[in-house]
């Protein structure tokens, strides 16, 4: 997957000073990214040939099961892989700066400033021995060395207030264990945005939160994105989250992109059987009480010995619709879908959209068969 993946359309300019030095075009451009880890059993390619770009003010959703390479690829963007225990090839450009091979000292100037990340487990990401405010202030002073302790504390309180922490003047002195799960996640968002980054990566930002708090966190991210005009990447396995937040969707399986398009296009006209499986696994609150979820059969492949041909073929119920042994022997290219603009799919099926509407959609959402054409 190289330059065939289109970038998101440009978002509106915020006009703030923080955007003055930014280059034209996408804030993030990833091209042919491969991340390999050496092991005693041989090299493991966790990400292979991945390309995408993200514009300012837009949200890209990266979706897939555990082990698909979502977090590994984003950690490469932030330079968080140990150079001694990983090999990264390809290109990653953040605001025009090539970061593959960048020294750690130079990367620190970007990390937390131009690009920031909200980690999946807020309790593990926050240091238990330091107060919330001290950790926020440190994140601010690293990139604003001239700021006094008083200024940094004031900034920490301001950010806690922005993300909806009640009584931020006093809660700033609490330890992480004194915050609820939702409040810790809000504190992580405050830390991620404290330096007004151009790009914010949210790795499973609603994991382990109840549905009400999940909705609040997603609404908060969208509100803050509009305020800061940041580009956002949301990593998740939940297409429901993607439907609410993302402009574009990148579906990953076994370290590769298997489908890419606008959110509306992917949710209404998916063309990769793996994406069909993800959609089939979403609970339908309008279904009868006897209805059962339709899981994807089998397990994700081992990256030590991935299947030949299409990596999804051992779990795919539609491979027999492809002539010969094409699915077993040849990896499909990432190619345009059924005549739709900016929709790419990695599948040998000749007319997947027709198969989806005729065979998959009536089973998972019969009420939408007539609506989706």
Domain ranges of the chain: 25-246, 268-368
In the chain, % of residues over pLDDT 90: 56
What is the CATH code for 25-246?
A: 3.40.50.300
DSSP 16-78: -GGGTTPPSS-SEEEEEEEEEE--TT--EEEEEEEEEEE-TT-EEEEE--TTSSHHHHHHHHT
d(CA 181, CA 121): 9
Q: What is the pLDDT of residues 66-121, one digit of tens each?
A: 889 999 999 999 999 988 899 999 999 999 999 999 988 889 889 989 999 988 88
Q: What letters, b where the CB count within 10 A reaches 16 and e where it falls short, cover 329-367?
A: eebbebeebeeeebbbbbbbbeebbebbbeebbeebbee
Identify the band that residue 340 occupies on the pLDDT scale cut at 50, 70 and 90.
Answer: low
Rounded to an integer, what distance in angstroms lies between the CA atom of residue 208 and that of residue 363? 30
Scanning the chain, the segments in alpha helix (DSSP H) are 70-77, 104-110, 122-125, 132-143, 149-162, 168-171, 181-193, 211-228, 239-245, 263-268, 273-280, 326-329, 352-355, 361-364
CA 184: distance to chain centroid? 20
- Report the distance separating Cα 59 and Cα 14, nearest Å: 16
Report residue 163 as tokens. 């993300």
The dihedrals phi and psi of 218, each to the nearest 5 degrees, come to -65, -40
pLDDT in tens, 262-320: 999 999 889 999 999 998 887 766 655 555 677 889 999 988 888 999 999 999 999 99
pLDDT at 25 over 90: no
Closest CA to 29 of 81, 89, 118, 91: 91
Copy the structure tokens of residue 39.
Answer: 């092991």
Please give the share of the chain, as a percent, with pLDDT higher than 70.
87
Give the CA distances from residue 179 to residues 12, 125, 132, 133, 175, in Å, rounded to whole numbers and listed in that order: 35, 14, 9, 12, 7
DSSP class of 357: I
Cβ atoms of residues 316 and 272 within 8 Å: no
Instruction: Identify the band that residue 4 occupies on the pLDDT scale cut at 50, 70 and 90.
Output: very low
What average pLDDT does range 151-167 have in this prediction? 94
Closest by CA to 29, choosing from 83, 86, 99, 81, is 99
Q: What is the dihedral of CA 128, 132, 135, 139, to 10 degrees?
A: 140
Flag whether pLDDT at 21 surpasses 70. Answer: no
For 46, list phi and psi in degrees, rounded to 5: -80, -25
């Amino acid at each position: 997957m190289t330059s065939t993946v289109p970038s998101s359309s440009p978002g509106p300019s915020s006009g703030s000073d923080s955007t003055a030095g930014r280059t034209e075009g996408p804030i993030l451009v990833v091209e042919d990214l491969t991340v390999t880890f050496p092991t005693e059993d041989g090299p493991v390619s966790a990400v292979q040939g991945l390309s995408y770009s993200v514009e300012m003010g837009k949200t890209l959703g990266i979706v897939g099961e555990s082990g698909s390479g979502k977090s590994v690829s984003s950690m490469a963007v932030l330079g968080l892989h140990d150079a001694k225990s990983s090999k990264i090839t390809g290109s990653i450009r953040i605001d025009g700066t090539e970061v593959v091979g960048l020294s750690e000292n130079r990367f620190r100037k970007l990390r937390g400033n131009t690009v920031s990340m909200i980690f999946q487990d807020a309790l593990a990401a926050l240091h238990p021995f330091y107060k919330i405010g001290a950790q926020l202030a440190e994140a601010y002073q690293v990139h604003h060395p001239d700021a006094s302790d008083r200024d940094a504390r004031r900034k920490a309180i301001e950010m806690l207030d922005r993300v909806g922490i009640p009584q931020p003047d006093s809660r700033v002195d609490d330890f992480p264990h004194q915050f609820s799960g939702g409040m810790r996640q809000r504190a992580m968002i405050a830390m991620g945005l404290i330096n007004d980054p151009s790009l914010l990566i949210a790795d499973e930002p609603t994991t382990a939160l109840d549905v009400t708090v999940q909705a609040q966190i997603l609404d908060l991210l969208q509100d803050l994105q509009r305020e800061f005009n940041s580009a956002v990447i949301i990593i998740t396995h939940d297409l429901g989250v993607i439907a609410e937040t993302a402009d574009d969707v990148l579906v990953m399986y076994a370290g590769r992109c298997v489908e890419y398009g606008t959110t509306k296009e992917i949710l209404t006209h998916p063309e990769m059987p793996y994406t069909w499986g993800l959609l089939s696994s979403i609970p339908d609150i309008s279904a009868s009480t006897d209805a059962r979820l339709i899981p994807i059969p089998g397990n994700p492949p081992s990256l030590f010995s991935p299947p030949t041909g299409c990596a999804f073929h051992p779990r795919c119920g539609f491979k027999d619709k492809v002539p010969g042994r094409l699915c077993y022997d040849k990896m499909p290219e990432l190619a345009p879908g059924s005549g739709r603009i900016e929709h790419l799919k990695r599948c040998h099926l000749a007319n997947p959209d027709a198969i989806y509407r005729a065979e998959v959609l009536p089973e998972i959402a019969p009420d939408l068969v007539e609506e989706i054409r």
